[in-house]
A and B are shown apart, each in its own frame.
Chain A
Amino acid sequence: MKTGTTSKALGLALTASIALLSAACSSKEKTPEATGPVTLIVNGQPPASAAEDRQNFDDDVKAFETKYPNINIEPREGFMDPKTFPAKLAGGQLEDVFYVYFTDPAGLIARRQVMDVSTYLKDYPTLADIRPDLLKVFSDSAGKVYGVPTANYSMGLLYNRKLFTQAGLDPNSPPKTWDDVRAAAKKISTLGNGVVGYGDYSKSNTGGWHFTQWMYSLGGDVAAKDGDTWKAAFNNDQGKQVLQYLHDMRFTDNSMGSRQLLEWADLLTMMGAGKLGMYLAAPDNVPLLVKQFKGTYADYGLAPAPGGIATLGGGEGYMFKPGLSEAKVRAGLTWIAWKYNNPDRSDEKNQKAKAADSPVGLPEPMIWTGSSAQKVKDSAVKFANVPVENYQSFAQAAGTIQVKVEPPNAQQIYAVLDNVMQAVLTKQDANFDALLKSAETQVNTILASVK
Chain B
Amino acid sequence: MRHDTREGKAGSHTMAAVLTGSAAELTETLASPGRPRGRSRRQRTIADNLAAYLFMAGGIACFAAFSWYPIVRGIFLSFQQTNFVTDPEWVGFANFQAIFADPLFWTAWRNSLYFTVLALIFGYAVPFVAAVLLNELRHFTGFLRVTVYLPVMLPPIVSVLLWQYFYDPGPGLFNSVLRGLGMPTSEWIQSTDTAMISLVLVSTWANMGASTIIYLAGLQAISGELYEAAELDGAGLWRRIRHVTIPQMRFLLVVMLLLQIIATMQVFIEPYRLTGGGPENATVTVLLLIYRYAFVTNYDFGLATAMSVLLFVVLAAFSAIYLRLTRRAD
Contacts and interface: CB of A to CB of B under 8 A. Distances in A.
Contacts of A86: 84, 294-295, 299, 301
B276 A90 contact: no
Interface in A174-201: 194
B84 A3 contact: yes
B275 A203 contact: yes
A67 interface: no
Interface string A79-118: 0001100100110000000000000000100011100000
Given A86-B84, A261-B190, A423 B170 contact: no
Contacts of B296: 82, 205, 411, 415
A203 B276 contact: yes
Interface string B179-191: 0000000010111
A422 interface: yes
B223 interface: no
A440 interface: no
A257 B171 CA distance: 10
A358 interface: no
Interface string A423-436: 10010000000000
B278 A418 contact: yes
A27 to B, nearest CB: 35
Contacts of A205: 296
Contacts of B276: 203-204, 261, 263, 418
Interface residues of A, number: 34
A28 interface: no
A258 interface: yes
Nearest to B278: A422
Interface residues of B, number: 31
Contacts of B295: 82-83, 86
Contacts of A445: 103
Nearest to A259: B168
B4 to A, nearest CB: 54
B299 A111 contact: yes
Contact of B278 (A90, A203, A411): A203
B145 interface: no
Residue from the set B84, B86, B301 with the largest chain A CB neighbour count within 10 Å? B84
Interface in A257-292: 257-261, 263
Nearest to B185: A258
Contacts of A322: 85
B297 interface: yes
Interface in B190-222: 190-191
Interface in B236-291: 275-281
Nearest to A86: B84
A442 interface: yes
A1 B87 contact: yes
Contact of A411 (B172, B189, B281, B297): B297
A86 B84 CA distance: 7
5 contacts: A203-B275, A203-B276, A204-B276, A261-B275, A415-B277
Closest 5 CB pairs of A and B: A258-B170, A90-B84, A203-B276, A422-B279, A111-B83
